[in-house]
Amino acid sequence: MRGGTTFRKVSLGLLVAAIVGLATLPMIQRYATDGGFVTNSTLFNFTQMFMLIIVASSWNLTGGFTGYVDFGHGVWFGIGAYGTGVLMSKLGWPFPVAVAGAVAITVLAALLLGGPILRLRGPYFSIAMLATFVAVREIIRIVKPITGGGIGLTLPPYLNRPLFFYITLILAVVVVAFTWWLRRTQFGLTLIAIREDEIGADMRGINTTLHKITVFGLSAAITGLVGALWAYQNTFIDPDIVFVDSRTMDVIIAVILGGLGTVAGPVIGAVVLFWARDIIWANFLQFHLIVQGIVLIAIVLWVPEGIVGTFSDRSGGTTLGRLMSKRKGEPSSDEAVGSPDDEPRTVSS
């Protein structure tokens, strides 16, 4: 189809219009009679949606661009949430300082863990992250004096829905714009090179370890920031509500539904998933995780390109789309040359 630039201009215009439209919601609530159609729960829902967009975009940095698919991304959210929780309720720090502290703690944790974990690759990395998630949840349960263990922590209540709405809206715009920009920089191209052929990138003199740890820390920082905001918004945290297994799954589904390894994918996926889930929740609360599991399997098997990949005419497609059409043995992001599968597998005693 001709007229790609027109299409771009139109979609950019629509995007700006959508952001401006969203930004007026709290105003409507404030100045219209009886808040118009906007209620506190509308704002809350949108806040949650922005958070999903932000976390999905940050997950896409490691999972989509760099090819390191993280099955325990919720751990950064959890550390961010607990960082704020502990700093505010135990040390009495004010909110902005506590958030900064929480992000610093998350980045520190990511850098410490990233050293050893990023040496693993493919499925080993994915499962080591899943194990990190479960392990950190248990550690938080065990260190009762600091984290309150299973009883949890109560933060000073602060119910200001419009504030959280605006913070997360701005953050979502900034983070998505940042990933768009990053994808076009030398750094972003290097990440793609690592995904496509890590050994080759290494051979060409790229410091792959440094790039991987940087993007890992960056992704953790963004998610940790969301966790920190979430904790204060929720005013109560315990291991079970912060470290929910489904949180990581939400993020993964959002990204691959939209299109793994694309800039727009996480945004579109998060929006679609969020409202689809809202409908599922409203009608079949009990089934929602079952439905989500089915959706995940269905997307991977039948629509691996995601929404963006399916509706765009760009050649190349999304990361998952290319993986799905790829057989074992061919080099790809997931299985670099010399992966375990190149060895003959044996079953023996």
Regarding 285 and contact with other proteins (CB under 8 A), the answer is no
Site for other proteins in 79-108 (CB under 8 A): none
Contacts by 270-276 with C-beta closer than 8 Å and gap 24+?
270/49, 270/52, 270/53, 270/56, 271/49, 271/53, 272/307, 273/52, 274/45, 274/48, 274/49, 274/52, 275/49
State whether residue 286 is helix, strand or coil.
helix
Among the candidate windows 14-22, 27-35, 185-193, 323-331, which touches other proteins by CB under 8 A?
A: 323-331
Which of 7, 37, 287, 311 is in the footprint of other proteins by CB under 8 A?
Answer: 287
Regarding 348 and contact with other proteins (CB under 8 A), the answer is yes
CB nearer to other proteins: give 139 or 151.
139
Among the candidate windows 46-54, 78-86, 100-108, 319-327, which touches other proteins by CB under 8 A?
A: 319-327
Tokens linked to 135: 């392990």
Regarding 324 and contact with other proteins (CB under 8 A), the answer is yes
Which of 23, 131, 163, 182 is in the footprint of other proteins by CB under 8 A?
Answer: 131
Distance of CA 207 to the CA centre of its chain: 25
CB nearer to other proteins: give 120 or 163.
120
Site track for other proteins across 10-49, x = CB under 8 A: ----------------------------------------
What is the rounded CA–CA span in Å between residue 235 and residue 149?
Answer: 16
Position 113, amino acid: L
Site track for other proteins across 232-261, x = CB under 8 A: -------------xx--x--x---x-----
Which of 141, 241, 303, 318 is in the footprint of other proteins by CB under 8 A?
Answer: 141
Name every residue whose Cβ is closer than 8 Å to that of residue 235 and which is 6 or more positions away in sequence.
154, 155, 156, 157, 158, 159
Site for other proteins in 294-313 (CB under 8 A): 294-297, 300-301
Regarding 151 and contact with other proteins (CB under 8 A), the answer is no
Nearest distance, CB of residue 140 and other proteins, angstroms: 11
Q: Are 69 and 187 in contact (CB under 8 A)?
A: no
Residue among 137, 118, 142, 119 nearest 62 (CA):
118
Tokens linked to 328: 């074992």
Phi/psi at 159 (nearest 5 deg)? -100, 90
What is the rounded CA–CA span in Å between residue 280 and residue 284?
Answer: 5
Nearest distance, CB of residue 113 and other proteins, angstroms: 9
CB nearer to other proteins: give 96 or 344.
344
Regarding 283 and contact with other proteins (CB under 8 A), the answer is no
Regarding 207 and contact with other proteins (CB under 8 A), the answer is no
Angle between helices 161-184 and 40-60 (to 10 degrees): 20
Sign of CA dihedral 50, 316, 187, 328: positive
Q: Are 155 and 89 in contact (CB under 8 A)?
A: yes
Regarding 120 and contact with other proteins (CB under 8 A), the answer is yes
What is the rounded CA–CA span in Å between residue 145 and residue 132?
Answer: 21
Regarding 199 and contact with other proteins (CB under 8 A), the answer is yes
Site for other proteins in 162-181 (CB under 8 A): none
CB nearer to other proteins: give 88 or 320.
320
CB nearer to other proteins: give 35 or 331.
331
Q: How many residues bind other proteins (CB under 8 A)?
A: 66
What is the rounded CA–CA span in Å between residue 145 and residue 54?
Answer: 32
What is the rounded CA–CA span in Å between residue 106 and residue 132?
Answer: 13
- Number of Cβ within 10 Å of residue 113's Cβ equals 20
Q: Which residues would be at the binding site for other proteins (CB under 8 A)?
A: 69, 71, 116-117, 119-124, 126-128, 130-132, 134-135, 138-139, 141-142, 198-199, 202, 208, 245-246, 249, 252, 256, 286-287, 289-290, 292-297, 300-301, 320, 323-324, 326-328, 332-336, 338-349
